[in-house]
Chain A
Amino acid sequence: MRSFFLRTAVRVLLPMLLLFSIYLFLRGHNEPGGGFVAGLTAAAAWSLYAIAFDSRHARAAFRVEPRRLIATGLLVILASGLISTFSGRSYLSGIWFSLPVPGLGDIDLGTPVLFDLGVFMTVIGVTLGIVFSLEEVEE
């Protein structure tokens, strides 16, 4: 399975897939995409990397412990809901504001974006956690 061609291909594919995943994440609110799909895409990209090399290399390249990513993701989700609680609204209700960015016009930002980020992180963490552990057992 550790083929030279796969490795070379993955080296090129990984950054592109990750970029695509971020693109999916960002456009998710208005076009098909979103945190869940983006997370799956990123996880698939890293799984490919883990298959082409091995889980030790993949872990080293990924840098973050997947379990930590799961926990952070869940905390981000919880926190995004708490922001509205502390502003005196009910838990998880969205709060929005506009950020003027030169060249792009006004960009809407809100707590649901944060929420989606949490989903993104959790999905990556869960999938990679499972993939890495499964691969390690086999070694």
Chain B
Amino acid sequence: MSITVLSGLAGSLLAAPLQRTAPRRAGWLLALLPLGLFIYFLTLLGPVSAGRTLVETLPWAPGLGVEFSFYLDGLGLLMALLVSGIGALVLVYAGGYLEGHPQLGRMYAFLLVFMSAMLGVVLSGHLLTTFLFWELTSISSFLLIGFDHKDETSRKSALQALLVTGGGVLAMLAGLVLLNQAAGTLSIPALLASSPDLLKHPLAGPAAALILLGAFTKSAQFPFHFWLPNAMAAPTPVSAYLHSATMVKAGVFLILRLGPVLGDHPLWTPLVSLTGAVTLLLGAWMALSQTDLKRLLAYSTVSMLGLLTLLGGLRTPLALEAAVVFLFAHALYKGALFMVAGAVDHETGTRDVTRLGGLARRMPQTAAAALPAGLSMAALPPLFGFIAKEVVYEAALESGLFAFAAVFAASAVTVFAAAVIAVEVFWARPAGSPPREPHEAPLALRLGPLVLAGLGLLAGLLPGPLDRALLSPAAAGLVGHPLQPGLALWHGLTPLLAYSALTFAAGVLLYLARRPLRRLAAALTAGFGPDRLYDLAYAGVFRLAAWQTGLLQHGTLRYYLNLTVLAATGLVGTVLLLYGGLNMPAAFPGATFYEVLIAALILLAAGFAITTRSRLGAVAALGVVGYGVAAIFLLFGAPDLAMTQFLIESLTVILFVLAFYHLPDFERFSSRRTRLRDMLVAMLAGVLMTVLTLSAVGIQIFPTISSYYAQAALPEAHGRNITNVILVDFRGFDTLGENVVLALAAIGVFALLKFPKRRQP
């Protein structure tokens, strides 16, 4: 399984060279990879529908319980089939859509990386593996949305999607850490088998809320829905892949995946279903005013993602089954319709419905793909969307009037949206004229919508085998027990059928009143919403950064030193006082004559260094201080330390002397008051360090560590000099870091001295 997930990454390396050698066939050839994966996943249908799950685990950081592991059950298989199948179609589609584009190879590469990431998310068997691939989807989608990188809107939308979903994933990571504390594992099979006691853990609630936050941002739930319509700045193949069928479903997928683990928490159902319901209605409302085909589809997608979230929140067996069935239906028709919208855009030069109409005569095959997909979206028989909508209605009715009303209203708008794209664009009288004379789209652009729409029709006519092989096993894993496959096109004259008919009628009414409706909805929603809030927050971050940079990074060495010393003294001192760190020894052992002598010398030299008016005198005095300290080291039996200190002091004096040439004359620039203040700061720091050192002497946290080193130095590290053994062996990694710091310091000095000075203005 790891090979199937990672093959996309390998394929992405081939994409650009292949595009150069075979510019016309690259898309078709590259599509063979996801197609192969699709066929491989099809072969797994048998074992998985028999209730088996496949697990593959590679150790990653075994000491931390982190695994790179994969887990394939019904739900994972359903998603993997969608990701690989639609992936193959999208690669072909991208080849036609961006034909002749100089960066087409890059597009293929990004799409393949994204496919890998998405497969990783849906097949992951450990939540940290999920997190890893989740981040990879964010990054690859950033590259895909910003593909047209010379356009400012594209860049802005890409950054927005990255920041919103990336911010969410940070919350999710925090949630995963909490979940790990509560459950003791992040392995998905282990979590699924965990006891219900997990929910009683005080961290289970916060963990669920944070993980859900990540899922909501990814699946464009209110109030994070705004990035999805803005992401329509991406080329259409990207929108068709990421924003209809795959990436936005990652959040829903995670909600479904973790439902059996955290779903019985009292927080879950209210939070998830309410967010879903609000998003469902909001997306529907926003869809009404859209005249851009892709934005219309995007808002309808937001709405339907809300529906999936709502179902994932309700968590009745029927709701979970409905979520799985509808997820499949939605991926088929929405993927097809996005590709149709792209084909129309490609052939006419516009996506504005007010300028389109009657394209069926010019683009008969595209129209033939749009019609069944649109009918499926409008939930008409005999298409699969109809079956899905029936199950959704059944689940919504079961859980109450409010849920049903919300689903009903949003479904009516879905019928309206379907009518706009499948009927108004292709069959209505043209309202305006498109910028280009329309032609039938090339095969690469027709193939995707035709296949997906055809599958929707086939699934509608023969729901039984599909249900038995794929959908019921997927839902069974979520419900926790096997389900009786029961999808059928015709249930007889039930109340559900009447509701469906009513929905359709309401949608048709909305469609007929579309022109005034668009004006009304646009007037009511103009210039308001979380998108604006995002802009404000975005600008605010920069203002905050400028303010605090001005405050802290003012460029005056004196204030840097003051601030650093004061902050360190304040923080350490506060903790020391508040948490009873003061632990002064009651009696001091007597000092020897030499110690007193050296201490007096150090004090004298220090006093001389701050009062002298000669720079060389000050440097020499500092050297005396350092030598004195080294002498104390020597007295207390640390020859290594003393030797190093002596050498460092000598070299410091040499460096000072060399630096003298660049310094102006030694003068007093500061006033008496600033010097007094600096003295106070210095004394405060000195007092703190003294108190800290004296307090630390009395505390022995690890009584064994120095004796351990003393004992282990010779047998384990073949050395008798403990200091050196610690440096090069026991704590070698620290020394490695210190050496890197040294090297960086040297590079800093090179940079300061060797680069030509900028002229002062």
How many whole Å from B80's CB to the nearest CB in chain A? 35
How many whole Å from A26's CB to the nearest CB in chain B? 11
User: With A29-B718, A112-B717, A137-B662 in contact, is A122–B739 under 8 Å at CB?
Assistant: yes
Interface of B toward A, CB cutoff 8 Å = 639-640, 643-644, 647-648, 650-651, 654-655, 657-659, 661-662, 716-721, 723-725, 727-729, 732-733, 735-736, 739-740, 742-743, 745-746, 749-750, 753-754
Verify B728–A34 contact, CB threshold 8 A: yes
Contact residues of A between 34 and 56, Cβ < 8 Å to B:
34-37, 40-41, 43-44, 47-48, 51
User: Interface majority SS on B: helix, strand, loop or mixed?
Assistant: helix
Q: Which of B650, B728, B736, B754 has the most CB of A within 10 A?
A: B728
A59 is an interface residue with CB less than 8 A from chain B: no
User: With A40-B647, A122-B739 in contact, is A130–B639 under 8 Å at CB?
Assistant: no
Q: Which residues of A contact B736 (CB under 8 A)?
A: 77-78, 81, 92
A15 is an interface residue with CB less than 8 A from chain B: no
A74 is an interface residue with CB less than 8 A from chain B: yes
How many whole Å from A48's CB to the nearest CB in chain B? 8
Contact residues of A between 71 and 93, Cβ < 8 Å to B:
71, 73-74, 77-78, 81, 91-92
Q: Which of B647, B655, B740 has the most CB of A within 10 A?
A: B647
Q: Which residues of B contact A118 (CB under 8 A)?
A: 739
Contact residues of A between 88 and 139, Cβ < 8 Å to B:
91-92, 94, 96, 108, 110, 112, 115-116, 118-119, 122-123, 125-127, 129-131, 133-138
Verify B743–A138 contact, CB threshold 8 A: no
Verify A32–B643 contact, CB threshold 8 A: yes
How many whole Å from A87's CB to the nearest CB in chain B? 16
Residue of A nearest to B741 (CB): A126
User: With A37-B640, A51-B654, A70-B743 in contact, is A138–B662 under 8 Å at CB?
Assistant: yes
A-B contact pairs, 24 of them (CB 8 A): A28-B724, A32-B643, A33-B721, A36-B644, A36-B727, A37-B640, A40-B644, A40-B651, A41-B647, A43-B651, A70-B743, A74-B740, A74-B743, A92-B733, A112-B719, A115-B728, A116-B727, A119-B739, A129-B746, A129-B750, A130-B655, A130-B749, A134-B659, A137-B662
Q: Which residues of A contact B648 (CB under 8 A)?
A: 40
Verify A134–B739 contact, CB threshold 8 A: no
Verify B718–A110 contact, CB threshold 8 A: yes
Verify A119–B735 contact, CB threshold 8 A: yes
Residue of B nearest to A116 (CB): B728
Q: Which residues of B contact A41 (CB under 8 A)?
A: 647
Verify B742–A122 contact, CB threshold 8 A: yes
Verify B743–A122 contact, CB threshold 8 A: yes
Residue of A nearest to B644 (CB): A37
Verify B650–A44 contact, CB threshold 8 A: yes
Verify A34–B651 contact, CB threshold 8 A: no
Verify B658–A131 contact, CB threshold 8 A: yes
Pick the residue among A31, A74, A96 that contacts B718 (CB under 8 A).
Answer: A96
Distance, CA A44 to CA B655, complexed state (A): 10
How many whole Å from A57's CB to the nearest CB in chain B? 16
Name 10 extra pairs, CB < 8 A, besides A134-B753, A137-B662.
A48-B654, A51-B658, A66-B746, A77-B735, A119-B735, A123-B742, A129-B746, A130-B746, A131-B658, A138-B658
Distance, CA A126 to CA B744, complexed state (A): 9
How many whole Å from A116's CB to the nearest CB in chain B? 5
Q: Which residues of B contact A138 (CB under 8 A)?
A: 658, 661-662
Verify B721–A126 contact, CB threshold 8 A: no
Question: What are the 10 closest A-B residue pairs judged by CB atoms, nearest first?
Answer: A29-B719, A34-B724, A40-B647, A32-B639, A138-B661, A134-B658, A30-B720, A126-B746, A112-B728, A92-B732
Distance, CA A35 to CA B728, complexed state (A): 9
A67 is an interface residue with CB less than 8 A from chain B: yes
Verify B654–A31 contact, CB threshold 8 A: no
How many whole Å from A124's CB to the nearest CB in chain B? 11
Verify B749–A133 contact, CB threshold 8 A: yes
Q: Which of B644, B729, B733, B754 has the most CB of A within 10 A?
A: B729
Q: Which residues of A contact B661 (CB under 8 A)?
A: 137-138
How many whole Å from A42's CB to the nearest CB in chain B? 10
Q: Which residues of A contact B742 (CB under 8 A)?
A: 70, 122-123, 126
Verify B753–A133 contact, CB threshold 8 A: yes
Distance, CA A56 to CA B717, complexed state (A): 42
Q: Which residues of A contact B720 (CB under 8 A)?
A: 29-31
Pick the residue among A29, A43, A94, A129 that contacts B724 (CB under 8 A).
Answer: A29
Q: Which residues of A contact B750 (CB under 8 A)?
A: 67, 129, 133
How many whole Å from B108's CB to the nearest CB in chain A? 36
Q: Which of A33, A81, A110, A119 has the most CB of B within 10 A?
A: A119
User: With A30-B719, A74-B739, A92-B733 in contact, is A116–B749 under 8 Å at CB?
Assistant: no
Distance, CA A134 to CA B661, complexed state (A): 9
Verify A94–B753 contact, CB threshold 8 A: no
Distance, CA A36 to CA B659, complexed state (A): 24
Distance, CA A36 to CA B727, complexed state (A): 9
Distance, CA A43 to CA B647, complexed state (A): 10
Q: Which residues of A contact B725 (CB under 8 A)?
A: 29, 112
Distance, CA A77 to CA B728, complexed state (A): 10
Residue of B nearest to A71 (CB): B743
Pick the residue among A37, A40, A119, A131 that contacts B728 (CB under 8 A).
Answer: A119
Residue of A nearest to B716 (CB): A94
Distance, CA A115 to CA B732, complexed state (A): 8
Verify B743–A126 contact, CB threshold 8 A: yes
Q: Which residues of A contact B662 (CB under 8 A)?
A: 137-138
Verify B745–A126 contact, CB threshold 8 A: yes
How many whole Å from B497's CB to the nearest CB in chain A? 67
Verify B745–A116 contact, CB threshold 8 A: no
Q: Which residues of A contact B659 (CB under 8 A)?
A: 134
Interface string of A6-23 (1 = CB under 8 A from B): 000000000000000000
User: With A108-B718, A112-B729 in contact, is A32–B743 under 8 Å at CB?
Assistant: no
Q: Which residues of B contact A127 (CB under 8 A)?
A: 651
How many whole Å from B752's CB to the nearest CB in chain A? 9
Pick the residue among B640, B735, B740 that contacts A33 (CB under 8 A).
Answer: B640
Q: Which residues of A contact B654 (CB under 8 A)?
A: 44, 47-48, 51, 131
Residue of B nearest to A92 (CB): B732
Q: Which residues of A contact B735 (CB under 8 A)?
A: 77, 115, 119
Q: Which residues of A contact B644 (CB under 8 A)?
A: 36-37, 40
How many whole Å from B240's CB to the nearest CB in chain A? 45
Residue of A nearest to B750 (CB): A133
Q: Which residues of B contact A74 (CB under 8 A)?
A: 739-740, 743
